[in-house]
Structure 1
């Protein structure tokens, strides 16, 4: 479409969203939204764009933007282009309609029926855009990208880089050792013979790639393609508010925003979740769980409905996994460190994509990998640093 699409700057994203917020409402919030019954969708898209714009303004000018935030900005930009394309189509549609007396002839049945296909197509496009915007917004919460820390000065900075993020945004073709654990997890998730609400816990020390393994299973087409009617990804971490985690679940699970959500207490939130989930097959992930106490509160929201629902957790602590399994029966999977050869394979895929490791760097690469001790996240992190350097700097 536009050549400027390749720009990587926050500034361009800001200018684009500034223009879109105004253009969106001016172009399609009037007669089209009224005729198609889409005023709510248009209002939602506008509000979400304004929130995204606020985030980009606060992130603008930051020199060291973390990888998750950068990936999210790219997704915002792509959605913005989709919205702009839709606005252009609607503008042409309105122009064509005016030339043919569309507005004045709305209530002449034959003319109206002739345009019905166009109406439906436009309505479907706008509803699809709403879903896109909604998903991008949920990712801000899911990956904690919106969490901004205020420093000693008046400037804001993006939350400190979480090394797990680098692995989450790596294409699966560049990962090593993921297929076997992913297959095992999917076998437990999709077992139709087990109708109980059951647990899949991934347990192990930091850097083993627990979150990445669960994420790849969670995003598998077998899981996203309709097997589960509801799904949500909740990042718990050491510092958390149970109320906020429950609200996040509701935002991901309910198809439409819940009125009064922000004012609800824990009991009400749990009630809403149980009521919505009681007749559905669902999969919920609680990533980075640290205490049995957090689990004891969160699991109250999960009805045991005998429909084959699943709960997945990641934790570093065996005791936490066992506490979870004491309440909801299931499976515990413990990832292993990568072998020397698999470590080298992963490293080379990241540092030398599409080509073999140069002979003169082979020995040095293996020395670096010894310090990574077979931990996938350590390998991805160091490979990410090296891959961003010119070849001359890599040798140094």
Structure 2
């Protein structure tokens, strides 16, 4: 974490030197010196971050450094606040300028003094810890490696090791891997066993490695553990020693002093004519694989390399290089998880009825990870099964149990190792992923938006199987410091009773706060705030003081009762996201157009009219084309006299990837199509007509956005857009109230039969069809929509049968009906004797919804599900609130 903070500050100092140094001429050298010192420190911080977990002295050193970084950042930001002050005009403005001039001189002197003191503190911190610097230098090894600690490696290796009896279906998995090893091509192959920590990858591969058939097949077998941050030289020495033990040759003279290059050559020579098996256990990074692979000869003896890893990129890259195979380990299914959990917790007996709810909760928290289940079972097995209160205590303090209980040390090591293995730029993103997702911990990259870089980071975390790990974040923010930087408050302000200052606060999240406590927080001095999220707060008006917090980049009042936005919003020149979803705001001040950094403008809510939930957005602003940083614009209303101008201006927003427009009229079609053709980055478009009888004219669009993934249309079309079949990236398509007449398109024909032909919509995942009054039949040809996962059909009152050919949709797992004819629903409810019932035997969940007593309800149909030869019985849900009908996601069920 310290490395991320230091690098962030280095970037900030560079920006400061480029832009504000004219106000700091007499401190320029101090600032440059500070930046250079931080650059020097940054080079060793990756090592420090790795050592921090196991070395209290390093932990204290890193903490002091982090505090210095924060003080520096605060000093720079507080000074910049004075430079953006609005002095006004006339005599009052002159007086204000004079006053500010005096204040600026004082502030400049104070900031210069602070930077001088910071330089001294950093120098003192380094000079006073020469032994730590020596420790860092001793820990550094080849590129991509940080330190070596044999004891720690041993423990970390054990953290991943489960008893073979703790892995369900291990014999089947082992049989598959053994076959891949001893059969097939004579060329070397890589077999990658990939999955998140705690699944038992090492246990499985160890069983394969020790199998007599495998030992007999390979002349040389070697096992190398990459846990932690390995010394590549030591690992190569280990491989060499294992080889010479098997081939009964002495280690060549001078091998212990060889450099890495010559050691690789020696290993390659020894293995050249040998059928070998090398296991690279817990390999974390591609550079680790690169460092070892050149030591393994590309002979024609049927040699094999097994890699166990959490990194999906590494697994697939290594296999592509040597035409290998990937074995992906998944979390255990519910039934197998329950079997293992009961075997360990109740010694094979079933769970007592009084503990079923508690155990189901704990089991869910384990997420199908055998290691987690075994670790927690070790604690539960000693509990009195009659004392429900003891088990409840474990349930409510699961996080503490993991932190404090010796039985969970292995589980905690798994989590720690996964985290410590991350590069610096992902550590801060990971720690803040669940609590502070809007923070600016994303580096700028040429040619990419911050959102695209953030998505790359997210996918990298996903590939490392780390997304579900959350407990480590608490280690970084456990104690209430004197100066709080990131704060999440829920319900009450008990934590604030410690009188912690909020003057250095950068992120504030308030959930479910009571009004007096909320007002107390908002009255605090928070001039450096970057992120303010007041989800569902008891807020009725836009807090006036918020407009003074000019560092705000993210502002959300979602699910509040705020109804107006003041003109002072124009002061927030750094604002990038304004989230007013599900508020009462329907109009924005013209000053919103001053926010040239704004990237996400989200303003809409729902209103119920005649059993439908209709979207309400905000009145379109003439001049909206000035907001050229916008990436998401939802939902603008285009039904006033300026709509024609607004439609044309939309074409200026070339960074848009999501656009949603309400109350579109037929005459808007040509201008709208002209603008959409210029928005080549669009991924999502939602267009709603001014009323359900109004035609949406989209025939003028000659070249639709090439990467369009989601399309939502509500209103009369007359004919389907001619460009619809060309959307090769389309994954979601919703058509509501389209009232189509005869259409000659081959790929999609409607009235009164809808026919979806072979090779239509090859990437579509979700299809929603609603309010087709004349539709009597849907036909799906074999090969159409091969990846469709969810089909929604709403209020097609003449449709009495399931879509013909629905059995071809083999990926379909959710089927939803709402306000459909009773005849159709009865066929699904009455059971296996009905043909329609059999057509969807492969679909996991089938729902139907209806209006009753002025409310909307949805129910899961209880039925048997056939998948891969297995039968599972669905369960009845009972009535639930049915989400907004006619919205882009009309039938989500929690």
Q: Give the structure-1-normalised TM-score.
A: 0.55
| Partners of 1:168 and 1:215 within 8 A in 2 | no
| Partners of 1:347 and 1:379 within 8 A in 2 | yes
**2:193 counterpart (179, 193, 202):** 202
**1:233 counterpart (209, 223, 227):** 223
- Structure 2 CA distance, aligned partners of 1:332 and 1:239? 24
- Structure 1 CA distance, aligned partners of 2:286 and 2:307? 12
Superposed CA deviations along residues 290-334 of structure 1, whole A, max 9, x for unmatched, are 222221120111111111110010122222123212322210111
- Structure 2 CA distance, aligned partners of 1:228 and 1:360? 53
- In structure 2, the partner of 1:243 is 233
- In structure 1, the partner of 2:376 is 382
| Partners of 2:161 and 2:200 within 8 A in 1 | no
1:97-136 alignment, distance < 5 Å: none
What is the CA RMSD across the aligned residues, in angstroms?
2.7
- In structure 1, the partner of 2:261 is 267
**1:320 counterpart (314, 322, 334):** 314
- Structure 1 CA distance, aligned partners of 2:160 and 2:151? 21
| Partners of 1:201 and 1:313 within 8 A in 2 | yes
Give the 3 Å change call, closer, same or farther, for CA 160–301 of structure 1 in structure 2.
closer
Give the 3 Å change call, closer, same or farther, for CA 160–186 of structure 1 in structure 2.
closer
1:158-197 alignment, distance < 5 Å: 161-162=155-156, 165=158, 168-170=161-163, 172-191=164-183, 193-197=184-188
Give the 3 Å change call, closer, same or farther, for CA 366–245 of structure 1 in structure 2.
same
- Structure 2 CA distance, aligned partners of 1:311 and 1:324? 10
- In structure 2, the partner of 1:284 is 278
Give the 3 Å change call, closer, same or farther, for CA 234–347 of structure 1 in structure 2.
same
- Structure 1 CA distance, aligned partners of 2:347 and 2:385? 17
How many residue pairs are counted as aligned between the two chains? Answer: 238
1:221 to 2:200 alignment: no
1:367 to 2:367 alignment: no
- Structure 1 CA distance, aligned partners of 2:353 and 2:154? 36
Q: Which has a greater percent of strand? A: 2
Q: Which has the higher contact order (CA 8 A, sep 6+)?
A: 1
Superposed CA deviations along residues 113-140 of structure 1, whole A, max 9, x for unmatched, are xxxxxxxxxxxxxxxxxxxxxxxxxxxx
How far does residue 202 in structure 1 lie from its aligned partner after superposition?
1.3
How far does residue 392 in structure 1 lie from its aligned partner after superposition?
6.3
Give the 3 Å change call, closer, same or farther, for CA 366–167 of structure 1 in structure 2.
farther
| Partners of 2:162 and 2:200 within 8 A in 1 | no
| Partners of 1:238 and 1:289 within 8 A in 2 | no
Superposed CA deviations along residues 130-156 of structure 1, whole A, max 9, x for unmatched, are xxxxxxxxxxxxxxx98346xxxxxxx
For 2:294, what is the secondary structure of its paired residue? helix
Give the 3 Å change call, closer, same or farther, for CA 278–315 of structure 1 in structure 2.
same
- Structure 1 CA distance, aligned partners of 2:339 and 2:241? 39
Give the 3 Å change call, closer, same or farther, for CA 329–161 of structure 1 in structure 2.
same
- Structure 2 CA distance, aligned partners of 1:351 and 1:167? 20
Give the 3 Å change call, closer, same or farther, for CA 318–354 of structure 1 in structure 2.
closer
For 1:301, what is the secondary structure of its paired residue? coil
Give the 3 Å change call, closer, same or farther, for CA 335–169 of structure 1 in structure 2.
closer
| Partners of 1:234 and 1:287 within 8 A in 2 | yes
How far does residue 371 in structure 1 lie from its aligned partner after superposition?
0.4
- Structure 1 CA distance, aligned partners of 2:255 and 2:385? 55
| Partners of 2:342 and 2:348 within 8 A in 1 | no
| Partners of 1:174 and 1:349 within 8 A in 2 | no
Give the 3 Å change call, closer, same or farther, for CA 177–290 of structure 1 in structure 2.
same
- In structure 1, the partner of 2:344 is 350
1:18-33 alignment, distance < 5 Å: none
For 2:302, what is the secondary structure of its paired residue? coil
Give the 3 Å change call, closer, same or farther, for CA 353–229 of structure 1 in structure 2.
farther
Q: Which has a greater percent of helix? A: 1
How far does residue 345 in structure 1 lie from its aligned partner after superposition?
0.9
For 1:302, what is the secondary structure of its paired residue? coil
- Structure 1 CA distance, aligned partners of 2:233 and 2:316? 24
- In structure 1, the partner of 2:150 is 147
